[in-house]
Homo-oligomer: A and B are copies of this chain.
């Protein structure tokens, strides 16, 4: 049924959404995005509910002063537009792809016509948001305890594309709640420990070494 640009089936994350009957699925669209391409544009009305099938993305908030702040990372199985759909959020935030991304888009019209009247649909949405809340809670709670170096290592592994990290360090420092200076300091530690190596425009990671670092002295 659904084919990804990688040639593999991408409907595994769909198992969590039983309201996606074949009848509904036939009216959905599979969208794909390239690196740094916007999945959602800030402020613009969210056209439909999207389920991330493959790839990762970052959710950005643009402040009044024009500054862009990194809010959150998105993974396969995550929903986009749920909070707006449900009325918990007024203005959608921008979502940018990190590497290639594939999404299943459920058009607004289909939701209104075939899903909005089904209690099970809303119930599942509520459950999904609730699970997300609990997951985020434990994640942030652990982030509060974890030393910065572990949070940074984890983040670099999740946002690197093809083993290369090339984020805006100012934003990353902000996202991780740490001063830019300290981010630089820690990056140097990583370099000196051989976990990463500088290269024009970013850092190349030694992914196995970083994973070992995370599972070693961690929690």
Measured CB to CB, the residues of A under 8 A from B are 71-72, 82-83, 86-89, 116-119, 121-123, 125-134, 136-137, 140-141, 143-145, 177
Contact = CB atoms under 8 A, between A and B. Distances in A.
26 contacts: A71-B137, A72-B137, A82-B130, A83-B134, A86-B123, A86-B126, A86-B127, A87-B123, A87-B130, A88-B130, A88-B131, A88-B133, A88-B134, A89-B130, A116-B119, A118-B119, A119-B119, A122-B122, A122-B123, A126-B129, A133-B133, A133-B136, A136-B137, A140-B140, A143-B144, A144-B177
A132 B132 CA distance: 11
User: How many copies of the polypeptide does the oligomer hold?
Assistant: 2
B122 A126 contact: yes
Contacts of A72: 137
A90 to B, nearest CB: 10
Nearest to A132: B133
A143 to B, nearest CB: 7
A94 to B, nearest CB: 16
B87 A127 contact: yes
Contacts of A83: 130, 133-134
